Structure formats: structure tokens, C-alpha cells
Amino acid sequence: MNAAARPTDSVFEVLASPHRRRILRVLRTATEPMSEAELAALTAQRASETARRERVDAEYDRIRIEQYHVHLPKLDAVDVIDWNRDRRSVTERDGVADELIDAARASDPRGDGTEEGG
């Protein structure tokens, strides 16, 4: 399903969360399926790039739990990712993240549909 075929509200709901945007950024650079644990670690690292190591460890635990129970199910529900719960692996569906980001930018008057924060 391409971005044009997804309901606009679904696109914005998926991209509304800074964490889901970080997940998509990490998956866009992956060349093979990534474990849930690896995805959580890389997402926590991106969230805490300027923080000390203790914060990364605490952030990892929070992100891992939130990712499993909130973010991955939402991304999977709108066919943005392939989430194999049995193997605990995640991959981006080919080009979908780019399509969503482009669609958000096109409909965002500021042109920054995926920026962190506010």
C-alpha cells in the first residue's frame, strides 16, 4: 500500500510520535531485518545522543517496552513495517518510510513533517 492509498489521518498518526520517526529513520538505513532489541538500542542511542551512558541505559529500557507495546503495533497496523513477532525482527517495507515522509512534507505548510519535537 503506497502513501497515497493510506488515509491521511493514519499517516499523520504514525508520524506524530518522535519515537516512531526515529524508528523509521533507523530502519531506513538497515540492510537486513533488525532484532527488536537492536532497534530499541539504536533508537535509544538516537534519543540520547548527547546524554551520558546512564541515561542511554535507562532510556533503552523505557524505549524497548514502549516500542513493543505501542510503536511497533501502530507501524505494523498501517503496513509501514514488517514485524515478525515470532522471530522478534523488524524491517521497513521497501520505500514506505520515504513515501510517508514525503507525503507529510507535502501536506505540512512548514515543510518539516518529520522534524523532532514540537
pLDDT tens for 8-27 read 777 778 888 888 888 888 88
Q: Which residues pair with 89 in a beta bridge?
A: 35, 84
Whether 108 and 9 have beta carbons less than 8 Å apart is answered as no
pLDDT at 58 (0 to 100): 72
Give per-residue burial for 52-78: e unless 16+ CB within 10 Å, then b: eeeebeebbeebbeebbeebbebbbeb
Domains of the chain: 3-107 (1.10.10)
pLDDT at 107 (0 to 100): 67
pLDDT tens for 28-71 read 888 899 999 999 988 888 776 645 555 666 778 888 899 999 99
Q: Which residue has the higher pLDDT, 3 or 64?
A: 64
Whether 30 and 97 have beta carbons less than 8 Å apart is answered as no
Q: List the beta strands (DSSP E) in the chain.
A: 34-35, 81-84, 89-92
pLDDT at 7 (0 to 100): 65
pLDDT at 117 (0 to 100): 42
Our CA dihedral for 67, 14, 28, 22, rounded to 10 degrees, sits at -50
